[in-house]
Amino acid sequence: MSRVPLYDQLSVVYDRFVDWPARLSFELPFLEKLLADAGARRVLDAACGTGQHAIALAKAGFDVVGADLSQPMVEVARRNAEQAGVHAEFVAAGFGELAEKTAGPFDALLCLGNSIPHVNDLAHLTAVLRDFRAVLRPGGLLLLQQRNFDMVLRRRERFLPPQVHTAGEDEWLFFRYYDFLEDGRLRFNMVMVHRSPAGDTCQMESTLLLPLTSAQLLPACADAGFTDLALYGSMQGEPFDPEHSSDLVLVERAGG
């Protein structure tokens, strides 16, 4: 199992970095409607992080498995599920390992939160999508959510909004930005500052992303055996606008 330093480190603070009540309130109505319309009961959450989507879906009555490359993230997800009093299985498995390490088939596979751009290159993307297809039943639902890199690349947008979390006298600040590399990839940097009465600490971690555009993702999904493609601009289901949408959300079906 490969180490993923950014996400191994982030596992400790990720549930402070994300405002989960607000995010789930925004995303779940659209997500649950898609799953219900697809007749999905058994769901795989790939790159599940600390398990918050999986736990929310388990509370809603779905049979959920979460998978993540980061073992520390998986351990946090298991604790979160136990504290929430719900049953959801979590396994350490990265992209390309799902068919081997999870017990399919699944009715739906989710890959949320800008996770799919962590592929190494377009050949790796093809292999990952085929792995996704392998764990889905025929007609199963695939949902990919990522940043709208059509817009990011055109505008050369480096900086993401800062995030702040406070608890008592402690404060956490998260600063995120991209470096545009000559090989076409992005270096995603996160600076994490913790302020407390005991003193301030600061650390920085980075990882590489492949900024996948709609023109790259659509044919790759078709080549992997997915059909009936629909594009949305966010997890509320509005149409995708490559010039202005914050996200690119792909919803499609596994071919028979």
- pLDDT 10s digits, 161-188: 999 999 999 999 999 999 999 999 999 9
The tokens 């914050």 sit on which residue? 246
Least confident of 14-23, 55-64, 204-213: 14-23
Q: Does the pLDDT value for residue 256 go beyond 80? A: no
CB 204 within 8 A of CB 177: no
| Dihedral pair phi/psi, residue 203, rounded to 5° | -145, 160
* Backbone angles phi and psi of 150, in degrees to 5: -55, -45
Model confidence band, residue 79 (pLDDT cutoffs 50, 70, 90): very high
Identify the pLDDT of residue 12: 79
Position 181 scores a pLDDT of 98
Q: For residue 1, is pLDDT > 50?
A: no
Question: Is there a contact between 121 and 93 (Cβ–Cβ < 8 Å)?
Answer: no
What is the distance in angstroms between the CA of the first residue and the CA of the last residue of the chain?
32
Of 256, 252, 225, nearest to 110 by C-alpha is: 252
Superfamily of domain 152-209 in CATH is S-adenosyl-L-methionine-dependent methyltransferases (2.20.25.110)
Q: Got the DSSP string for 208-228?
A: EE----HHHHHHHHHHTTEEE
| 83-128 pLDDT tens trace | 999 999 999 999 999 999 999 899 999 999 999 999 999 999 999 9
The domain limits of the chain are 5-148+212-254, 152-209
Task: Give the model's confidence band at 15: pLDDT under 50 very low, under 70 low, under 90 confident, else very high.
Answer: confident
pLDDT over threshold 60, residue 82: yes
- In percent, the amount of the chain with pLDDT more than 70 equals 98
What CATH number should be reported for the domain whose range is 5-148+212-254? 3.40.50.150
